[in-house]
């Protein structure tokens, strides 16, 4: 799993920092792209990466503020031109369908694919063979959701040489064993999956807290997550102003990571009051609370490794 930060700013674009968008590249065998928010200029940022818009299969919107949504119509339009003709799943708060369809209709934009809209509420909102996505409401000035992406445990690697020695023919029986199922051969030999396959691979969990002030649901999203992505619009000491606008400070994001027992914190959504030279100081503020904290910058990308089983 690979995470790309296409924009890390709040409110409006800056010369060296675009507004919010996060891309999640799924590993084999999916190899698809999921995105979380798409502020103005997101498709421009995407072109500066190796990511392919045609691979986009799902877009999750945290809330309807413009710095998280104004790039969506252009993104959807361009997807038609770059081979993205498969259906798209689009998730967001109530009003997301009206917002997007109004923009597409009034601009006479025709898409060569179907969009399935999901106006989300609390709970599991999306499930595939390998992933589950949950949504929880956060505390912002407008309805806003955070998302928790949980990868299923993957089967361990088969010991093919041992299976051949035991007389197990390649094919469907290999698949059953890989799923953890014990099998019995025609001659009565019992093959235990645990004896011929390595330990299953742990799934990974990523929590994305959109715009929010500190709240219990942000903690729930982040519980034991491998990676917590949390807004940090303001600096330590600016809590009163942050909460007035439904935001968090660096140290509050760090406390959420610490108390939730997350393994890693990446902060984003920085106020325009902070220039590039200020980001290192914001990062250090968070590290006084939660040492494994870092501050994202535009086009920063990172792998999310599997925990050892």
DSSP conformation class of 81:
G
Residue among 68, 31, 37, 67 at smallest CA distance from 50: 31
Enclosing H/E stretch for 75 = helix 72-79
Taking the CA atoms of 90, 95, 97 and 99 in sequence, report the sign of the dihedral they define: negative
Using CA atoms, how far residue 188 sits from 109, 165, 166, 177, 185, in Å, is 64, 16, 12, 16, 5
Phi, psi torsion values for 160, nearest 5 degrees: -60, -40
With a CB cutoff of 8 Å and minimum separation 6, the contacts of 148 are 133, 134, 135, 136, 205, 206, 207, 208, 221, 225
Query: What length is written for the chain?
Result: 309
The secondary structure of residue 197, as a DSSP letter, is B
Phi, psi of 115, deg, nearest 5: -105, 130
Exactly one of 67, 211, 226, 298 is catalytic; which is it?
67
**Largest distance between two CA atoms of the chain:** 74
Q: Which long-range contacts (CB under 8 A, 24 or more apart) does 102-107 make?
A: 103/72, 103/73, 104/73, 104/76, 104/77, 107/73
Is 199:144 a contact under the CB 8 Å cutoff?
Answer: no
- Sole residue written with tokens 């610490």: 258
276 is catalytic: no
Per DSSP, 293 falls in state: E
Tell how far CA 177 is from the center of its chain: 31
Residues serving a catalytic function are: 67
């Amino acid at each position: 799993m690979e995470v790309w930060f296409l924009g890390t700013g709040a409110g409006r674009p800056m010369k060296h920092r675009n507004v919010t968008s996060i891309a999640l590249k799924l590993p084999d065998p999916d190899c698809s792209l999921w995105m979380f928010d798409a502020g103005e200029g997101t498709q421009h940022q995407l072109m500066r990466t190796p990511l392919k818009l045609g691979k986009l299969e799902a877009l999750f919107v945290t809330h309807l503020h413009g710095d998280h949504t104004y790039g969506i119509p252009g993104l959807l339009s361009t997807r038609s031109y770059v081979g993205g003709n498969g259906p798209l799943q689009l998730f967001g708060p109530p009003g997301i369908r009206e917002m997007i369809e109004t923009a597409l209709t009034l601009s006479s934009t025709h898409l060569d694919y179907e969009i399935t809209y999901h106006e989300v509420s609390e709970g599991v909102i999306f499930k595939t063979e390998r992933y589950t996505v949950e949504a929880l409401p956060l505390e912002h000035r407008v309805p806003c959701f955070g998302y928790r992406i949980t990868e299923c445990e993957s089967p361990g690697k088969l010991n093919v040489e041992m299976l051949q020695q035991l007389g197990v023919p390649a094919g469907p029986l290999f698949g059953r064993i890989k799923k953890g199922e014990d099998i019995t051969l025609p001659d009565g030999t019992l093959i235990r999956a645990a004896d011929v396959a390595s330990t299953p691979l742990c799934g990974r969990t990523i929590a994305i807290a959109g715009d929010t002030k500190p709240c219990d649901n942000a903690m729930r999203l982040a519980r034991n997550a491998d990676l917590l992505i949390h807004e940090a619009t303001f600096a330590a000491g600016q809590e009163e102003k942050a909460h007035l606008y439904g935001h968090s400070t660096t140290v509050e994001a760090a406390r959420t990571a610490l108390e939730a027992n997350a393994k890693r914190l990446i902060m984003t959504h920085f106020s325009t009051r902070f220039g590039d030279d200020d980001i290192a100081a914001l990062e250090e503020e968070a590290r006084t609370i939660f040492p494994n904290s870092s501050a994202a910058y535009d086009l920063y990308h990172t792998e999310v490794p599997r925990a050892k089983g």
